[in-house]
Chains A and B, each alone.
Chain A
Amino acid sequence: MSSDLTSFVALAPAYPELLLAIGAIILLMMGVFSNEKTGNTMIVGVAIGLLAVTAVLVAIHPAEGVLFNGAFIQDGFARFMKVLVLTGSAFALVLSVSTASDHNLNKFEYPVLVILASLGMLMMISANDLISLYIGLELQSLSLYVIAAFKRDSGRATEAGLKYFVLGALSSGMLLYGASMVYGFTGQTQLDEIAKVISLGEPSLGLIVGLVFLLAGLAFKISAVPFHMWTPDVYEGVPTPVTAFFASAPKVAAMALFIRVVFDTFEPIAKDWQQIVIFVSIASMVLAAFAAIGQKKLKRLIAYSSIGHVGFALVGLSAGSQTGVEGVSIYMAIYLTMTIGLFACILALRTDQGYVEDISDLAGIAQTRPFIASGIAIIMFSLIGLPPLAGFFAKWEVFLAAVEAQLFVLAVIGVLASAISAFYYLRVVRTMFFDEPNHQFIKTPNELNVVIALTAALIVTYGLTVGGFLKDVAGIAAGSLF
């Protein structure tokens, strides 16, 4: 029995989580006792700081290891994904600073819930046991359910929250059922121990069913087809800063969990889950590409786009190789950057009547707001995967992994889906540049401009600046799983 519960030093690998947990509690107390008017901004600020400090801690604090009787693992992969998640959450909060009051989000509970959700995500990423996996997932999910329905007086938001909750609970149930089957047929809950048992003999039917249910539950969390239905409704229904959060950090965390489960636990029966992942990947890419074309609402479009991008990321995963994991890691990092940038642009476009909702509201902003228009255009081109923008490298990595694994059909379908998806991204660009402006926009808050400039610069100069570094780090991260 290790002494990690009694020794503070032995807890070193879990310091980031501890910091976040304690920070959340302190923030909650601060919120209760602070002045309602001035307190909110301060709490948001502190929350952003807390997330940022945690991210830095994860990045520079090299303590790695297994804690709590094997329930918690901190390794290179976990650290990479945690930095992404924390960055995503922090930026999602930054986006809400000056837009919160328009969306009824200016309550101190919001940043606290975001931190709690982030804590859940960190636990998911570090989960090394079916139980801790489920608890981390539920901490995240419950926080997200509340955040989704945060704007209580809005019918749309509560409907979205309820849908999210019902479908989410159902998927959690499926995940739990799968987990119990896996436990029943291996006698273990710890992920690496399960892998050892599986590698001993032929997988039994019960194990396969457990795997399928487990993956179905996880597919819901990354919103992959056929468990994607909640995504467009929820993205559209909840306030935009919340959508920004939903689209970024939780996706990364769930994908990390997905990767860890399939590679750590079910590595010996890779050919079984590869079939599932390939199916889900193709279904996501193709459905998203076609369904997005008919959308008129910007946020629904982004929802489908995110479904499609999950499909592309899964292309890398279905390769079942280290290169594949590396590709997915890079993909998630780039996807996160593009998502944050895109939502910063959307939140930056505010008229007297409110925020832009329809794609047609973007008409002609190239003339009225050239900076934001070029930001959106860069991100759209990057989402399509046009070189030399970052999005191209993301797709390049995953398709390369698929081709390496001889999955030519998958790669070709992916490229075709990507071509079809260009159709709806370009429609946005065309609307912005070629239509006549029909709205007057209010001045953009500075922090949004900074975020837009930052993400656009990263996307454009990816190959020259961060590309090499990211590739190295992702390589280390992927290496730690094998």
Chain B
Amino acid sequence: MIPTQAQSFSMLLVAIAPFLTAFVAPLVKRFVPQHAGWVLALIPASIFAYIFSFIDLIAQGEKLRFALPWIPMLGIELSFYLDGLSLVFGLLISGIGTFIVIYSGGYLSGHQHLGRFYAFILMFMGSMLGLVLADNVITLFVFWELTSITSFLLIGFDHSRQASRRAAIQALVITGGGGLLLLAGLVLIGFSMGTLDISTMLQYPGFMAEHSAYLPVFILVLFGAITKSAQVPFHFWLPNAMEAPTPVSAFLHSATMVKAGVYLLARFNPILGGTIEWQVTLPILGGITLITGALLALRQTDMKQMLAYTTMASLGMLVMLIGAGSKEAILAAMLFLVAHSFYKGGLFMVVGAIDHETGTRDITEVSGIAKELPITFFGAALAAFSMAGLPISLGFFAKEEIYLIAKTFEWQHWLIAIVALVGNALMMAAGAAIAIKPFLGPRIATPKSPHEAPLSMLAGPAILAVLGIAAGVFIYQFGDWFFSPSASAVYNHKVSNHLGLHFDPIPLGLSIATWALGGLIHWKLETVRDILRRIARVWTWGPDQGFDQFMFGLVRFADWITRIIQHGRLELYLILVFVALAGAVYAPMVLTGSIPPMPDVLPQLRFQEWGVLLIAALGLLAVVFGRTRLVAIVSLGVQGFAVALIFLLLGAPDLGFTQFMVETLSVVILALVMTKLHLDQRDNRVFEEVIRDGGLALVCGIGLTMLLLAVLQTDLDTTLTEFFTKTSVPIAHGRNIVNVILVDYRAIDTLGEISVVMTAGIAILALIRIRAGGPKRGIGAIKKAVKRATSSARKTRSAS
């Protein structure tokens, strides 16, 4: 079915509407302060309903592509793609989003920035919907980064606290940076496949696997996914992100945003999956994340932290399953994804309610509040029921499906099943702790005396908890609607719906083992926690500290660079320029292999020529080592005169005399200027600096000499020479070609040069006539003043 223009537009509206609503959210908050959440929730609810209306079509295996031209000249269309996978994600985002918006109204009621909060969370929702519905990879990337930014804003919502600011920056750096790598990967796919549309890419499965760019693409996309989905070693931002208000944690950091990485892997499974790299890397990464997350969860007493780490573990499970890539694994991943969103979203909201009502969320400080918060307890219990995978919740079927992998009796699959078993058991223990410990047992005093939470905070957890069970009861129907189509989309072939109660011995046996192990861990939770904490005391370094060290190192490195290169001293800048110059001179000679041979002229030199060369060399030494400016300037003149003498000796008297003139003039001008300026007359450089400057000058000079030698070895273009030899006598009546050029061919140029020299002379005259006076200012003067001050200080000290 090809959607109409109107349908395409409505699908665009699905992604845009939350943004538009975000703009008016603060106004809504102002007009209906008490019920803004309920009003604003109408938007996600209607989006949910709209996406829901496609369920029949999608269940029949249709894939819909909605396209609107956006930036036609870049070939970027605003196109959306709806298949089983994006449908499930879209429904989760808009459905849970509805409850979150309502919940926020209760949780943050009375907060002065509640309006802003609504705006942020709606913007996030729009970005997330755009991300899962996008067909064009660039659109996908845009929304991907928008989710990072909105997540940054939401984590840092309580921005007066240092911890939440750090967490916000950390999350943005990790996920945003991963996003940039993802962009590189996506562009590379686009170039390799010649299209930017995912729907088109999906028609060529296996194309990329053969392509030479596969490995870089795989690595780049993988980095995008594992940073977003908090896989080890980039997991640390997720627990820190719990600084955000609880609705944010429930929505972004458990049900939706962190699953964007999973979505990406699932979406690209047909395109990039099926290779050795994919099937080895993903399960290992996922497995490590699963076990690490589950263990770290048990270490915590803060219930939100516990949930955060179990979320991380669940993400590991999803990555592992997608990596395994078999039909069962994909179906299991989809089941687990939905089940997890239901129970984890619910549990987060429950913890938020406990925190809100009792004033603490430390699991050791709350106990026995089931009587005061019966409905919350009901939600928590059902959610934990599904999390533990007890029959016949949705979690149960998810787990059965995972353990079906083990039926193939291959060692890799058994390994996956065992890892999943341990992870599940650990997570079950954590979930049970949250559902049982605060509600049952003896009542202990809490910072606030608890009442049942308001309706807005109960609707979400209760309905999600019931859904988690209901989906299990009607598993076959749900499978037809959601799980089979979405798994088919990921697997790229039809995955038939075989969900139901089967009592297969292997999965059931593994399930029973899970419950037993989970129960045992929960029973001995205190001991386990103690052991884990003891390990944590020994093993202090983690990527979280690593992040800080990295950031700190970056700043230190930046400082170092600035100190080395940007110190503000002109002298050193000039040195840098000359170093670059030397590089520019030597590099082409070395690279083109045209270093000139040393010309063999030295033995031919006569006595007087040796003498002149010696004078030049002495002059240069005096320039470098002369301690006053005047000496240096005059020595430069000596060297120049020596060069002029060489011209004389080699038979070019006119050139020699010109050189004499120029040298005289420049010595006079330089000496005048330098002595008239209020600069220190002495050279204050220390010996090392003299050597450095002199050496650099030598290197540049030798380089230029070599360059000239090399250049002279190639043939010059003789067109001009021939022209002048042919024409100078008949046209200009002169035998000295140089003179003819100067006074005939370029007469106007020569006139111009003379005028320039004259003008310069007038300027010099002006310089001379300025009387030396006024305050002594300049670099040398300051140094002298400092010296005077220090010596007088020394005197006074010795006197006392």
Contact surface of A with B, Cβ cutoff 8 Å: 162-163, 166-167, 170-171, 174, 181, 184-187, 204-206, 208-209, 212-213, 216, 226-227, 229-230, 232-233, 287, 290-295, 381, 386-388, 392-393, 396, 399-400, 403-404, 408, 411-412, 415-416, 418-420, 422-423, 426, 430, 433-434, 463, 467-468, 471-472
Contacts and interface: CB of A to CB of B under 8 A. Distances in A.
B588 A187 contact: no
Given A187-B720, A293-B555, A415-B183, 16 more contacts: A162-B570, A186-B717, A205-B594, A226-B576, A226-B579, A293-B558, A294-B562, A381-B149, A388-B142, A403-B188, A415-B181, A426-B169, A430-B169, A467-B71, A468-B71, A468-B73
Nearest to A397: B74
Given A209-B585, A400-B187, A423-B173, A167 B574 contact: yes
A333 B184 CA distance: 24
Considering residues B169, B557, B577, B592, which has the most beta carbons from chain A within 10 angstroms of its beta carbon? Answer: B577
B558 A290 contact: yes
Interface in B449-468: none
B155 to A, nearest CB: 12
Contact of A386 (B145, B565, B568, B594): B145
A423 B553 CA distance: 13
Given A162-B570, A430-B165, A294 B559 contact: yes
Nearest to A467: B71
26 contacts: A167-B574, A181-B711, A185-B717, A204-B711, A205-B711, A206-B714, A208-B592, A209-B589, A209-B711, A226-B576, A226-B580, A227-B580, A233-B566, A290-B557, A292-B558, A293-B554, A293-B557, A293-B558, A294-B561, A388-B142, A392-B142, A393-B74, A403-B191, A418-B180, A419-B176, A420-B554
A472 B73 contact: yes
A258 to B, nearest CB: 16
Contacts, number: 144
A468 B592 contact: no
B72 A468 contact: yes
Question: Top 3 nearest A-B pairs by Cβ distance?
Answer: A294-B558, A293-B558, A387-B142
Given A290-B558, A291-B562, A293-B558, A163 B177 contact: no
B573 to A, nearest CB: 4
A286 B587 CA distance: 22
A412 B213 CA distance: 14
A386 B177 contact: no
Interface string B595-617: 00000000000000000000000
B191 A434 contact: no
Interface of B: 70-74, 138, 141-142, 145-146, 149, 156, 159-160, 165, 169, 172-173, 176-177, 180-181, 183-184, 187-188, 191, 216, 551, 554-555, 557-559, 561-562, 565-566, 568, 570, 573-574, 576-577, 579-581, 584-585, 587-589, 592, 594, 707, 710-711, 714, 716-717, 719-720
A329 to B, nearest CB: 14
Given A185-B717, A387-B141, A434-B165, A205 B173 contact: no
A216 B565 contact: no
Contact of B73 (A206, A387, A408, A471): A471
Contacts of B561: 287, 290-291, 294
A227 B588 contact: no
A167 B573 contact: yes
A229 B169 contact: no
Nearest to B190: A403
B419 to A, nearest CB: 33
Nearest to B176: A422
Contacts of B562: 291, 294-295
Contacts of B160: 434
Contacts of A426: 169, 172
B584 A212 contact: yes
A230 B559 CA distance: 18
Nearest to A392: B142
Residue of B71, B574, B579, B716 most packed against chain A (CB within 10 A):
B71
A253 to B, nearest CB: 22
Contacts of B587: 212
B786 to A, nearest CB: 17
A415 to B, nearest CB: 5
Contacts of B172: 426
A229 B570 CA distance: 9
A216 B581 contact: yes
Nearest to B76: A463
Main SS of the interface on chain B?
helix
Contacts of B714: 204-206
Nearest to B588: A208
Given A386-B145, A468-B72, A167 B577 contact: yes
B566 A229 contact: yes
A387 B710 contact: no
Given A167-B574, A205-B594, A403-B191, A291 B565 contact: yes
A423 B551 CA distance: 9
A419 B558 CA distance: 15
A173 B172 CA distance: 46
Contacts of A381: 149
Nearest to A386: B145
Nearest to A170: B577
Give the residue among B138, B141, B145, B551 with the most A Cβ atoms within 10 A. B145
B137 to A, nearest CB: 12
A467 B72 CA distance: 10
A423 B184 contact: no
B416 to A, nearest CB: 33
B713 to A, nearest CB: 9
A415 B580 contact: no
Contacts of A422: 173, 176-177
A205 B588 contact: yes
Given A415-B181, A472-B73, A434 B589 contact: no
Contacts of B585: 209
B722 to A, nearest CB: 12
A166 B574 contact: yes
Contacts of A396: 74
A291 B565 CA distance: 9
Contacts of A290: 554, 557-558, 561
Contacts of B191: 403-404
B159 A434 contact: yes
Contacts of B169: 426, 430
Nearest to B177: A419
A75 to B, nearest CB: 22
B159 A170 contact: no
A433 B577 contact: no
Contacts of B70: 463
Contact of B588 (A163, A209, A433): A209
Contacts of B579: 226
Nearest to B593: A205
A470 B592 CA distance: 41
A415 B184 CA distance: 8
A468 B184 CA distance: 24
A415 B71 contact: no
A395 to B, nearest CB: 10
A213 B584 contact: yes
B142 A229 contact: no
Interface centre among B70, B558, B565, B707 (most CB of A within 10 A): B558
A406 to B, nearest CB: 10
Residue among A185, A187, A392, A434 having the largest count of chain B Cβ atoms under 10 Å: A434
A171 B160 CA distance: 49
A444 B160 CA distance: 28
A420 B554 CA distance: 9
A163 B554 contact: no
A205 B710 contact: yes
B581 A174 contact: yes
Contacts of B580: 216, 226-227
B699 to A, nearest CB: 16
A419 B177 CA distance: 6
Contact of B573 (A187, A205, A230, A399): A230
